Amino acid sequence: MLIAAASSPIAPLIFFSLRFGRLSGVPLFISMLIQLLPMILVAFIGFGLRQAGVLRSSDAKTIGKLLTNLALPAVILRALAMASITPDLIYLPLSALIVVLGLTAIAFLGVRWLKWEKPRAGALMTTFPTFEGGAVGYPIMLLTFGDVGLSRIVLFDLAQAIYLLTVVYCLSAWFGQAGVTGRAVAQKLAQTPFFWAIVLGLMVNALGWTNDLLLGLLNIAGDSFLLLVLLLLGMEFQVQLPSVGRYILLALAKITCGLILGWAATQAFGLQGVEQAAVLAGAALPPSMLTLLFAQENHLDTRFVISFISAAVPLYLAVVTPLLAHLSLSP
């Protein structure tokens, strides 16, 4: 199944490229790699600019603010506003809830077995159950399935986002021995632009308020998403070389556990096609970058968080790219 929505400026090009690859006898997996190569190169450019001192940590914060407050909300709002949403799609956030609860339980057992000190144990509990949808999951679903795929992983990510900003935030504060209140959690949620983008996107879709002016505005703001997120990923890439093997194993464990839980959820709810792809792609995602902010705020092991995320992103792409290529060809 190949799905591409005309409302995405890059979706027609992606769709043409993938179709051309199939017609010329080139496997879809190879076509996807060709499409991913420019994304990887942009990330390397971000890494190189950071190493050369052209871009600094202050620039990374600025890019992060543009992503959080402008580009990502625009992409989410556009995808949900134009999506065909039916009641049975409630199984997508329910699937995410199953996955994050399972990953939280696994992380808790891991913390008890490893007997790490609280800062590192808290870093594991904060990262293991979370997903980086905006920077990693959304682009790869958009690349493979167009705006339809993007809308599905956004719905999957909705439950995880609420869980991240409530349960995971509380866990981070507890391991950091910081006070946390219901008011603080509510403020975190209310101050998160992509949460309101999800709410507004669903409202616009339900009320049919889409028009050329709104879509034109969202296209302009959303077109910067891929460039900004790839530059930021490259700038923030960092792995502690002496411990790289440990972080690769940890990332592999997270991906494997996520895929098993995601597959179980799709079987339980009978999800197929792009919905099944969204659950599997979402369940295997690397840890959310917001967990780095949680770790900094609560004095957890930030180097652990950065190294875990940096190891998990390339491993995720290596595992999920061929999986999505296979699923996109399924009837």
Instruction: Flag whether 208 is in a domain.
Output: yes
Residue 6 lies in a domain: no
89-112: burial string, b at 16+ Cβ within 10 Å, e else: bebbbbbbbbbbebbbebbbebbe
pLDDT of residue 107: 97
Report if residue 1 sits inside a domain. Answer: no
User: pLDDT at position 13, please?
Assistant: 35
pLDDT < 70: residue spans in the chain = 1-33, 35, 177-182, 185, 189, 239-241, 330-331
Q: Is residue 2 part of a domain?
A: no
4 within domain boundaries: no
User: What gap in Å lies between CA 87 and CA 149, rounded to an integer?
Assistant: 17
Indicate the pTM of the whole model. Answer: 0.74
One-character DSSP codes across 90-126:
GHHHHHHHHHHHHHHHHHHHHHHHHT--HHHHHHHHH
pLDDT in the model for residue 179? 60
What integer pLDDT is reported at residue 283 of this predicted model? Answer: 98
Q: What CATH number did the domain enclosing 40 receive?
A: 1.20.1530.20
Q: What is the mean pLDDT of the chain?
A: 82
> The tokens of 140 are what?
């790869």
Q: Are 219 and 9 in contact (CB under 8 A)?
A: yes
Question: Looking at the domain assignment, is residue 5 inside a domain?
Answer: no
Q: How far apart are CA 250 and CA 96, in angstroms?
A: 20
- Over residues 283-293, the pLDDT tens digits come to 999 999 888 87
* Position 214 in a domain: yes
> Nearest 5 degrees, angle CA 300-CA 137-CA 324?
135
Domains contained in the chain, number: 1
Neighbours of 191 (CB within 10 A): 10
| Domain extent for 277 | 11-328
Within-domain flag for 321: yes
Quick check: helix, strand or coil at residue 183?
Answer: helix
Using one digit for the tens of pLDDT, what is the confidence trace for 91-102?
999 999 999 999
